[in-house]
Amino acid sequence: MTAVPDIEFRGVTKRYGAVTAVSGIDLAVPPSAFVALLGPSGCGKTTCLRMIGGFEQPSEGQVFIRGQDMAGTPPYRRPVNMVFQQYALFPHLDVEDNVAYGLRQARPRLSSREIASRAGEALEMVRLAGYGRRKIHELSGGQQQRVALARALVNKPAVLLLDEPLAALDKKLRTDMQIELQNLQREIGITFVLVTHDQEEALSMSDFVCVMNGGRIVQLGQPSEIYDEPADLFVADFVGKTNLLSGTVAGHSGDLVEVALADGTVIAARKRTALQQGEAVSVSLRPESLSLGAQTSGPFKGIVRNRIFLGSTAEYAIEVQGIGTLLAKADHLIGHGNLFKPGEPVAIGFASGTPLAFAETKNNGANQRVDKHVEIIS
């Protein structure tokens, strides 16, 4: 017997007039998990979160919280709390009254002493002890974020919902908050459901990532699975950086397919679904799976166009005749002298792993995306 899931979606569909925002979602979130709903804007992730919070009602299907069907239960009777995008703190209340807001709603009423002590504890938890009497507008973005967290956690919800909580913070603060959120989740041990369009954020914080596109769940798995074994072309492209090369299936050898690329090069690739001889496919090559060398006799030869120095590693945009621009990542532990310069010819080989081949699907815009990607780096 497995434990009752904290959150469960059964066949949930949400329509707004003629537009279907979410269609046929089935999802079970185990207790005490940190789950990220990841996807581009308009993929339905926020709608899912709002259906858990009770701000939207599913058009079809059911949402369960700890085994309870939530149909018809208004937000104020649900055992979940939300950290809103841009926090939605009450401007007319000070920090402590914001945090105590939920406690004041409890019936039977809590004693004012209990309210004060629990609000104090919550503020301490987010390292804002002593800020109780500050006005909201006197706080920095990071501090407001913490107040929003304390305000949501003070009610001891079964599940904490986070709607793009870090989007408004600068990069340094965002990294700090990622660690802090992760620690907080382990400390309290309740389920966190995070909505984000930032794949780095999803991969770095959560135990499970649920990748969504076009109102559906495309893949559900641990961050490493999502990154290493993307279910389809969309996930491969959306999560992390990758090179997508189009080609056709030239043959099969065991579990692998042989793909003939535009320049005639044939490479072996793993596949997700059965592929027909001659079928158009996209091959995904992660930048870090490519190795660069002056002498290496790799499948590709090209000329370095741009070098993006990243400290411990460097990325290269390499123009390969007949294929386009490839992005390759090389760590240079061997010494900075090994950096390639723009204009230098290089040979590209495979350092690790086997590339993945996906059947070309229409309307996912994958090719366009690659073009855009190339535009940005070149």
- Residues lying near another protein in the complex (CB under 8 A) are found at 53-55, 74-77, 80-82, 84-86, 88-93, 101-102, 105-106, 135, 137, 151-152, 155
The candidate with the shortest Cα–Cα distance to 45, out of 222, 211, 220, 158, is 211
Residue type at position 265: T
Three-class SS state of 315 = strand
The candidate with the shortest Cα–Cα distance to 82, out of 161, 165, 167, is 161
Q: How far is the CB of 176 from another protein (least distance, A)?
A: 24
Indicate the pairing of strand 208-213 with strand 313-320.
Answer: unpaired
Cβ atoms of residues 290 and 255 within 8 Å: no
Q: How far is the CB of 101 from another protein (least distance, A)?
A: 5
Gyration radius from the chain CA atoms? 24
Instruction: Report helix, strand and coil shares of the chain as percent, to nearest 5.
Output: 30, 35, 35
Tokens 């569909």 belong to: 13
Q: How far is the CB of 83 from another protein (least distance, A)?
A: 9
333 CB-near residues (< 8 Å, 6+ apart): none
Q: How far is the CB of 348 from another protein (least distance, A)?
A: 49
290-293 β-sheet, strand order: 290-293, 345-350, 300-309, 313-320, 324-331
- Judged by beta carbon, residue 90 or residue 309, the one nearer another protein is 90
Tokens 């490479």 belong to: 267
Q: How far is the CB of 74 from another protein (least distance, A)?
A: 7
Quote the tokens at residue 150.
Answer: 């304390």
Q: Which phi and psi angles does 312 have, rounded to 5°?
A: -80, -20
- Judged by beta carbon, residue 160 or residue 281, the one nearer another protein is 160
Q: How far is the CB of 361 from another protein (least distance, A)?
A: 36
- Judged by beta carbon, residue 82 or residue 139, the one nearer another protein is 82
Q: How far is the CB of 254 from another protein (least distance, A)?
A: 54
Quote the tokens at residue 21.
Answer: 């925002």
Quote the tokens at residue 148.
Answer: 């929003």
- Judged by beta carbon, residue 86 or residue 367, the one nearer another protein is 86
- Judged by beta carbon, residue 99 or residue 327, the one nearer another protein is 99
- Judged by beta carbon, residue 31 or residue 75, the one nearer another protein is 75
Q: How far is the CB of 163 from another protein (least distance, A)?
A: 9
- Judged by beta carbon, residue 107 or residue 362, the one nearer another protein is 107
180 CB-near residues (< 8 Å, 6+ apart): none
Q: How far is the CB of 5 from another protein (least distance, A)?
A: 21
Interatomic CA distance for residues 347 and 265, integer angstroms: 14
Interatomic CA distance for residues 347 and 155, integer angstroms: 59
- Judged by beta carbon, residue 105 or residue 277, the one nearer another protein is 105
- Judged by beta carbon, residue 137 or residue 171, the one nearer another protein is 137
Q: How far is the CB of 105 from another protein (least distance, A)?
A: 4
Strand partners, 315: 308, 329
- Judged by beta carbon, residue 108 or residue 311, the one nearer another protein is 108
Alpha helix ranges (H) inside 105-159: 112-125, 141-153
Cβ atoms of residues 83 and 148 within 8 Å: yes
Cβ atoms of residues 155 and 100 within 8 Å: no
